[in-house]
Amino acid sequence: MPSREQLSTLLAPDGTVLLTVECQQGVVGPDSALPELAKEARSSGALANIARLVAGAHRGGVQVIHAIAERRPDGRGANHNARLFRAAERLPVQQLSGTTAVRVAPPIEVAEEDFVVRRLHGLSPLAGTDVDALLRNLGCRTLVVTGVSANVAVPNTVFDAVNRGYNAVVPADAIAGVPSDYTPALIRNTLALVATITATDDVLACFEGPRR
């Protein structure tokens, strides 16, 4: 874990963006297409911590981007080149554009100044979307990655951020995956090698600290 001073420098508000990954009704909501993942996101406290981080970012003047995964009703443009995509096509709840499933899930609140970026393909919100261009235009140096899942989208996001030259910060208690013991293993053995691992309270202390 970094020191408070190190983390505070890394999370300077004018160079930091908070990203929520797939925190949408159809993924982490009560009618999720992936009920096991939704249950883990809620029971672990990850979803509540993400909501706290978003609220803290709003208060502290830190930009927030919500990354949403969706698909057209006709499926055009969606990937079909992996088992994960083919399985998603058969789920009873579809992440269809314009439906409740692709709205940001409570208790996370979307502010007027937030960006909501939607993608129709792939595994990462940084690949082939507006996110990277937005980050550069915003002067982002550090990307705080939160959301689901620790199995696929979160590590993809962290790797893509690092490959594009951003500092990646991951609050370990603000991501979730299945089974429950997979997330700490991923953090310890993979994400800790490329990202700064911290906790929600420590990030909030930087967002809302005395320097403001």
- Mean pLDDT by 10-residue block, N- to C-terminus, for the chain (212 residues)? 87 97 97 95 98 98 97 88 84 89 98 97 94 98 98 98 98 98 98 98 89 44
Separation CA 57–CA 128 (nearest Å): 26
Query: In this structure, are residues 64 and 18 in contact, taking their beta carbons and an 8 Å threshold?
Result: yes
Phi, psi torsion values for 191, nearest 5 degrees: -65, -35
Candidates 184, 156, 145, 158; CA nearest to 44 is 184
Rounded to two decimals, what is the model's pTM?
0.94
Q: What is the length of the chain?
A: 212
Query: Which pLDDT belongs to residue 210?
Result: 58
Separation CA 111–CA 158 (nearest Å): 24
Separation CA 192–CA 132 (nearest Å): 22
Candidates 148, 152, 113, 154; CA nearest to 134 is 113
Query: Which pLDDT belongs to residue 212?
Result: 40
Number of H helices, E strands in the chain: 10, 7
